[in-house]
Every structure is written in structure tokens, then in C-alpha cells.
Structure 1
Amino acid sequence: MLLHGSWSRLIGVITVLALVAGCSSKPQSQPNAQSNTATPSPSPPVSESSAPITKSNTNDETSQPTPEPDTPRDTPTQGTRTVEKCIVLMARVNDPDSPLNVRSSPKATTTENIVGQLKNGTYVDVKEEQNGWFRISGETPGWIAKNRTDKTCGEKTERVQFGRGQDSIEIRDRFVGGGTHSYRFNLAKGQKMTLTSGSNRGELLPAVISPSGKSLIADLEQPSSWTGTLPETGDYTLQFDSNFKGYEYTFEVKVR
């Protein structure tokens, strides 16, 4: 009975071992060698150096700022003087072959038209100018050669404009005989005008006439300079007058 029980337990152990061995020897399933679906190729690894990074110079302490272009500056220019009217009213005889012949017609091809003669220094009234000849009036009326006289504009009107950056201008001229010289400036109300005389006659200043016709200098025979504030905007006229033999004058105009 004891032997039979031991034998039965041995057979049971062998049976269990056989079952375990059978399970471990079962072949595992293998994947198919080929697949109908294409397997995508893996992307190549991206190298860190394949896309270089450019360093911005925005915060670079060594970078220099772009210089700004120079601002253009107004270049100073000279003033302009434009003679708007010039009429010879008188002339003084100045003939190197004095006396000067007075002719009945403006022709020098014959002596038959000579009606008189004038000495150097004689003042004559000019009535007309034609092809280099003056028609004169007086005791011996007729025609005289223009190039044998000393003459200037008797009636003159001149427009004066300051240049850019300019606030003063000097004016020189002279009269031969009588007449009027007018200098016109377009100026603004509130500006200050200063006149300074440099005439050989000493304290000689032009009359200052406002756009409305008012005289701004009461007495022209005064100290050689005058300063005044302009009362209105428009054309101001600086005017010299000559009664007979004429004179030279020089003066400076400054406007601020």
C-alpha cells in the first residue's frame, strides 16, 4: 500500500513536468517577410550646422549709427536793382573838340546844317533822343551828338530787392542837371529801416514816402542817419530831387 502511493505521486510529478515542457516548446509566430504597405523611410537627422543662424546687429554695441544727411542751408545771395524808368532830362556839353556844333537835323555828313555852337560845361535841356543824337531846347535849339555830352538819368525809378540773408544795401548815383531819383522797396509793417548818408554833401538823406503817400522824415537836413518803424506794408519810396546842376549821393539802407 505504501509503495503504491509513492508510485502514484511520482507519476503525477512527471505528468506536470511534461505539460510544462510542451508549452515552452510551442513555436512563436513570425511576421511576414514582405508587407504590401510601403514603410516610409525615416527622415534624415537634421544637423545643427545645416541651418546657420544669422546674428542680428540690432543690439551690437560695436555697430555705428547711420549718419543723417546734412540739412541744406540757404545760401546768401546778392540783392538786385532793376531800373524801371530812365529818362535823360538835361546834359552837360563835354566835347574834346570844343565847341560842340548844334545842327538843324541829326546828321553830321555836312556843315550846311550847323546852326550854332556850345562851349564845354554848358547845360542843355534834352527833349528827345534819336539814333545817338539829343534834340535840345534853349537859346540855340537843334541837335547835338549824344556822345559829346555828360548825362545821367534825370527821371529814374529803380526797384531794389534784398538778397537772401541780406539786410542792407548801398546805393550810389548822381544827377546831371535837375530831376528825381526814386528807389522802391517792398517792405512789411513793423520792420525797422535805418538810413545812413555817405554823400559828399554831408548830411543828405532821401525822402521816405510810405505806400499811402505819407512822408516819414520831416526834415531831410538833419543828422546823417535816420531810423524809423514802418507803419504799413507795401512799396516804400526813397526819393532824391535835384533842382538844376545836380550832385552825387551815396547812402545805405538797412531793414530788419
Structure 2
Amino acid sequence: MILVTGASTGLGLATAEALAAAGHRVVLHARRADRLTTPAVAERMHAVVLGDLSDADATVDVARQANALGRFDAVIHNAGVIDGPVTAVNVIAPYLLMASLTPPDRSIVLSSGMHRSGSPDLDRAFRGRGDYSTSKLLVTTLAFALARRSRILSHAVDPGWVPTRMGGRGAPDSLEEGHRTQEWLATADPAGIEPRTGGYWYHRQPRAPHPATVDPAFQDALVERLSRVTGLELPSG
């Protein structure tokens, strides 16, 4: 069973649809029921969970809904915003889900090539609503922290600049390529994935991320800050 967040439209919907078509049991997350494009989408899914990931309590409730369905093989943290409450949706929500869900086997977060221009200044990052590049730097760091601190196979994916509502019609990258990597990481035999955990991927190829993201001290500082902000601890061991 695979949970895909932010899957009512765009890249998330394409990911959920492709996984369901391949025979996987997919749980689609949407902010609200009316965000689903057609009733047929929900019918193709194993289940649908609802909640606004910009709100901490609603995010924990999404985890509660998901836990009621059973343990997940993988969680694809697709939900994201480019403006507005970017820290809440892009960073705090994935942390809250991983701290609240029964630990899955795998976790895949969506990063961005723009994470390389983000700031590793945590005080700045958690001041106000944050900025997109920094939020992607932090969620990439979170993925690597989870890979180092737990048994969960955890990766970050740059899907490219794809033609979605967020990316715009003129985006130059392929929408299909934009979701293939996270599907592969969620379902492939781990023996065929190198690195097995803690990878930063672009179109199924490992790439070098921002140096701060692989710094254990920075990873620990981020996890400690998120623990203080949310009052929850990540799974470990």
C-alpha cells in the first residue's frame, strides 16, 4: 500500500494514477473531497484521505486516517506549495506525517533543483512562512536524516520543472519523467537501487545535493527544531 500526498492534481495525481494502473494499492491524499477532478479518480484508488497539510492538527488527522487503513509500504510526500505557507506544507507536514504514521518501509520526498539556493539558517527558515528554495533544502535534509537515523529507506527526488499548475504550461521537462523516479523508488527491489537509501535523484539518476543536506550535524539540528515545533519525535532505530 502506497500513500501519495497532494495527489488531487498535477504530478501527485499522475503518480497515483500510474501506481494504481500498475496494480498497487494507492491511498490518495487531497486537501478536500472537492479537489478530486472526477469521481472516477477515487474509484481507481484503494482509499482517499483528506486534510489540509498547512494545518498541523489536520496533518496529524491525515496520519490517523491513513493508519486506520494499515501499514504502508511507501509514502510519497508529493504535496507542496511554491508560495504561501511553504514551511508548513513543504517541511513540517512531511515531518508530522512520518512522526505520526506507523513507520512505513520507504519514504520519498519531492525536492527541487532550487533547493541549492536555499538557506541553511534555521532561524530564518522558521521565521514567517519561509521561502520555497529553503523549504526544499530542509525537506531534502529531512529525507537524509531519516535515512541515517532509522531503518526507513528514505530518498529525495527532483522531478524537474514539469508542466503542472505549479510549473506552468511552458515548463521544459517531461511530466511523465517527473513521476517515474518516485514510483520506482517506492516499488523497486531495494537491491536494484544505489544508493539503497539517502539518495538525491533526478530522472532515476543520483545527483549531488546541497552540501548542508548531507551534514549530520545540520540534519540533527533540523530534526531537533522540528521536534520542538511539533512536539513529536521521528521514528528511530
Work out which of the two has the higher radius of gyration on C-alpha atoms and give 1 or 2.
1
Which of the pair is proportionally richer in helix? 2
Q: Same fold (TM over 0.5)?
A: no
Which of the pair is proportionally richer in strand? 1
- Which TM-score band (shorter chain)? under 0.3
